[in-house]
Structure 1
């Protein structure tokens, strides 16, 4: 069980860091008026999130001190590619933070880091595209990992920016609304496809829907934040600093619940020998 939660924390926090890094780079590139103290603070938060994710991943290993061995088969193993890409991404987040802090040229590192992030997240999803597990042997893991990055990452960046009193426009929140809606509809479609597939995939779908974790994930991670952001949209109040932390917390809890559901639904089936 500890190993399962190590994977939950690693995947969610690494994807959050990837999305936040890209968000910071986009804001810095498009708006170009961010103070170095603000960028330093946000980039430091990205380093912290990625560092926590990597630290959590060690809990899944029987021998944490030999974690470097996981990168030995880059040419043939998606797991090795995941280890190498997220290791490289963590290094780039540290460099990016240092460049913000020292006032150095950061655009090139921002571009490379964003590209590595965009490669690392789907690579992490490919680790779980397994023929032995029909519910995972599809585009689902890649799609949901990417959706975690594009929903949770910008919100994490928004919280850090709000702490530094950086003014955020409506575009970021409109993007998050669209991403959350896409995530919810994609998961509904995914469940319907699983249930209609029959055999083990259908059992996974029903096992998911019958779980209390699924309903908590639905209300906490999708309905509640969409309701808050929808209320703000209806009132045209885009300076929503008082809502940002709440929305971020709800989405983070929802993503953690969803990832536990991702691993737990299949684990539950293996208990019955399926």
Structure 2
């Protein structure tokens, strides 16, 4: 498998979008917070994502060519919405550091970025489900992409915003992560078990996944373990005497779950077997 650039592109873009969603939620919960570090992280990840996408295309001008079929190509739509989101994320980060008092523009950018981000993830998932790769077909790809977006984005948001969230009830963020990964597992496991009942390409993918059972087991151990581990610190009151302890627990949960989701994205591409042509 040689899809490193695609792994970086999809994973970083979805993480950036998830952070933007959490910034929007966080501002609803605490209007006086700025979340500058989270905004900067979202912008940085979106830039890394787009650069990885250009590396995969081979030539930067190829990105412009890919925009020529917006009416019929999900690849064109993915490129367009990814670029728009990156622009919004970068502008939002600059606004936070140099014009944070402009609350009206700040609000417009947050909400626009969140909506564009959700459309971007949909375009990504739709692109893969429209290919000749049976293992990518169906609702599992949509659930996996949105779950990664929300879970990873929420965790990075927590890790970059702990100081600002010190006196804020963080239960909602831990609950979101836990619910999302449970839904992800409940869809992915039966989908993988039924994959071998489909055509030859799907059966070949099922054999690949069977050979990666240890890696898949590690993936779910890290994802579910990280989500469960997160629930303890975020449901406690982060009083001054416990701040370092709580922060450490959250950082461990963040690292654990993100590693699991990244392994899952590697598996996503490793199981690729086409019926005729591949990703287009």
Aligned: 1:171 with 2:172: yes
Aligned length: 263
Question: What CA distance in whole angstroms lies between the structure 1 residues aligned with 2:77 and 2:68?
Answer: 9
Aligned: 1:100 with 2:96: yes
Question: What CA distance in whole angstroms lies between the structure 2 residues aligned with 1:205 and 1:161?
Answer: 40
Query: By how many angstroms is 1:213 displaced?
Result: 2.6
Query: By how many angstroms is 1:146 displaced?
Result: 0.7
Contact 1:16/1:152 (<8 A) preserved: yes
Tell me which residue corresponds to 1:27.
26
- When residues 124 and 131 of structure 1 are mapped into structure 2, their CA distance, relative to the original with a 3 A threshold, is closer
| Larger mean Cα displacement after TM superposition, 111-120 or 210-219 | 210-219
Contact 1:204/1:269 (<8 A) preserved: no
Tell me which residue corresponds to 1:261.
267
Query: By how many angstroms is 1:120 displaced?
Result: 0.4
Equivalences for 1:4-153 in 2 at 5 Å? 4-34=3-33, 36=34, 39-101=35-97, 102-103=99-100, 104-105=102-103, 106-130=106-130, 132-153=132-153
SS at match of 1:112: helix
Query: By how many angstroms is 1:130 displaced?
Result: 3.1
Contact 2:67/2:80 (<8 A) preserved: yes
Contact 1:194/1:202 (<8 A) preserved: yes
Question: What CA distance in whole angstroms lies between the structure 2 residues aligned with 1:125 and 1:146?
Answer: 9
SS at match of 2:162: helix
Structure 2 residues without counterparts, runs of 5 or longer: 239-245
Question: What CA distance in whole angstroms lies between the structure 1 residues aligned with 2:274 and 2:208?
Answer: 8
Tell me which residue corresponds to 1:203.
204
Query: By how many angstroms is 1:56 displaced?
Result: 1.7
Contact 2:63/2:79 (<8 A) preserved: no
Structure 1 residues without counterparts, runs of 5 or longer: none
Question: What CA distance in whole angstroms lies between the structure 2 residues aligned with 1:198 and 1:76?
Answer: 27
SS at match of 1:162: coil
Query: By how many angstroms is 1:164 displaced?
Result: 5.2
Tell me which residue corresponds to 2:254.
248
Query: By how many angstroms is 1:173 displaced?
Result: 0.6
TM-score of the superposed pair, with normalisation by structure 2:
0.86
Contact 2:69/2:76 (<8 A) preserved: yes
Contact 2:78/2:124 (<8 A) preserved: yes
Query: By how many angstroms is 1:132 displaced?
Result: 2.0
